[in-house]
Every structure is written in C-alpha cells, then in structure tokens.
Amino acid sequence: MLGLLQGLICVSLAHSAVSVPAQPAQLAWLPPSHPHQRPAPRGEYRMEPGYSPYPGGKDAPELRMPSGFSRNIPERRIHSHNDYWRDVPVYTALSHGALSIEADVWLNPKDDKLYVSHNVASLTRARTFSRLYIDQLVDVLSRANVHDEETAFFDKTDYWTMANEREERRLWTSFYEGNLTPIQLLVDLKTRGNETYHTVLRELEPLRSRPVLVLLTGNGINLDVRSQVAPQMSRDVFLDAPLLRLDETWQGMDGGHYGWNSTLAPMASASFASATSWDGRKAISAAQETTLSQLLRTAQGRGFKTRLWSTPRWPTHVRDRVWRTLYDLGTDWLDADDIEAAAAF
C-alpha cells in the first residue's frame, strides 16, 4: 500500500510539472484552508503588513475582537484642556489615551440648550453640548462595552451573572478594557445661574448609566451651584474644587454649613500661574519646588486629585520642563492643550 501511495504521489507531481509551467513570480500563496493550495516556491513568500491567513482577510470573524476598540491605546492621566478645540472632540483625546476631557458650555435662553465654545463669538447652532459630547460618549462607551448575542452566548462561562454583578461590571468598565477608571468629563459653565446648572443636569441624562465621572467647573463651582450640590445625600454630578481655597466654607440651601471635601469634589484645580511663581524658563529652585510639592501633597492628603491648568505651551522645551517637573512632583492630572505631544511625553 505504501509503495502504491508513493507511486501516486510521484505521478501527481510529474503531472503537475508537465501541465503547469513553472512561473515562481506568479504563483500565489493560498491559506491552508484553501482547497487548491499550492505552496509558494521557497524564498517567494514573506510576511507583509496587513496580511491575514483567514478567508475574508482582515475582516474575517476570527479577527473581530470586542476589546479591540481601544487596543494598543495605553491609558494616560492626561486632561484634554479645551477639548472642543480639537478637530474631532472626544475621539482625538481618547485615541491618545487621555482619560479626562473638558467642554465649555453656554446656555442660550432662546431654546434652553447648551452650546460649546470658548467664547460667544465662536458659538454655532451645530455645536451643541449634546451633539459634541453626550451623544459621542454614549456611542464610544456602547462600542467599547459590547452587549449582544455573543455576550449572551457566553453568559454562563464565568461566575458572574448576566443580570446582576456581570451587568454592573459591564456598565462600570471604562473605555479601556479591564480598567475601572471612568472617563472624566469636566463641564465648565460659562453662563451663570441656576438655569445653566439645571440644564446641564437635564442634558446629562443619557450618561447616567455610563462610566463617566462628571465634574462642574468655572461658574459651576460658584456659590449658587455649590449651595445646591453640597447638601445632596446622593449625587452623580460633582465639583472641581479650587486648589488654593480648600478651606473655604459656605451655607447650603438647606441652611447647613459645608466645606470642600473629596466626596463633593474628587479633584482640586488651579491655574499654573496662580499656584507658583516659577515660569519654567529655568530649572525650578529648591524653594519653589518645596512650595509646589507641599501644595499638591496637602490636597492629595485630603483625598483630592490635583490638576494645574494653563501650563506654558511655548517654547516647547519650557512646556516639557514644566510637564516633567509636575509629573515628578506627583500631580494626578497632566493638563494639556497639545494632546499629541502629551501622549508622546
């Protein structure tokens, strides 16, 4: 039998040699599952970018991984300052691993909607808070936290139950697979008054079941707003505390007296220029470093995350020196206008 098989193989090879002229440069390498596979001549095959051995190429179902949405994007504790300036708000920052973004909002009393811009002159009807931020964050988190027929197929594979713990874990898994750090959204209220605050609460409704930590800043920490937020026993919108005024107190709408704490305000911020006399042009002095370090450590000791905004942007060597110093001193958030430079830092 073995001899017969060997003879058949020889005949087959001989037949191939006669019927198919040898043209190595034109022979295509076919994947193992192909019914008419012919191995590429030795030296004619090599790996190339974009190659896939699966039928369907890069679109093959075997290569469709749910957690691939943020694959190879390391999380970075970068705050995307003035995020709405970017070509594509939300996505540009998240694609570089930033975990915090910021939107300045203005209430238009003509339609009771929030619009995004740094100043009134740059407002347009198309750039609404809902369209630029709420809708996009809902879309991003829906794509990152897949819940479909595939999820249901494997719902009993581990010890989590789909209706309880597993669902809770799914909702509170952030854009980064397996990381329980939520995306942080700072909403800087540009228009004053309770109307703006209550409009923000209304427009945030689609995010309430999503892993997004919302902090109000700007006019959002004025007395009229914090006097309402502080007395709340249960809240899903928080404040950005003033880093240089953490000891101030105020009276709430319920008549009680309140002060800054990390339960009310998970983060404390200040402008770089107000926090230190050092401008970054030269190496920081020992005295300036001690003062800045104590400011950050004191706030962190009380449970606040720290952020210094509007750090120098130019010259770039000054910017990088300031970033390096703040990072070494242990600031929790690196505030950045140039998100690409901060990601490569």
Confidence category of residue 10, pLDDT binned at 50, 70, 90 = very low
Give the separation between CA 299 and CA 14, rounded to whole angstroms: 82
Closest CA to 246 of 227, 282, 228, 221: 221
Task: Give phi and psi for 311, each to the nearest 5.
Answer: -70, 160
> How many secondary structure helices (H) and strands (E) does the chain include?
12, 11
In order of 18, 115, 190, the CA distances from 110 in angstroms are 83, 12, 16
Task: Give phi and psi for 96, each to the nearest 5.
Answer: -100, 10
As given in the structure block, the two tokens for residue 120 are 């009134």
- Give the percent of the chain with pLDDT over 90: 64
Query: Would you give the distance in Å from CA 141 to the centre of its chain?
Result: 10
- Domains of the chain by residue range: 75-344
Give the separation between CA 259 and CA 58, rounded to whole angstroms: 56
Lowest mean pLDDT among 24-38, 110-124, 262-276, 280-294: 24-38
CA Rg value for the chain? 28
Q: What is the mean pLDDT of residues 300-329?
A: 97
Q: What is the mean pLDDT of residues 191-217?
A: 94
Which architecture, in CATH terms, is 75-344? Alpha-Beta Barrel (3.20)
Instruction: Give per-residue pLDDT as tens, 137-192.
Output: 999 988 877 777 887 787 777 654 444 444 444 443 433 344 456 899 999 999 99
As given in the structure block, the two tokens for residue 191 are 């228009």
The rounded mean pLDDT for the chain is: 84
pLDDT at 22: 43
Predicted TM-score (pTM) of the model is 0.80
pLDDT at residue 287 above 80? Answer: yes
Instruction: Give per-residue pLDDT as tens, 223-270.
Output: 999 999 999 999 999 999 999 999 999 999 999 999 999 999 999 999
Q: What is the mean pLDDT of residues 300-322?
A: 97
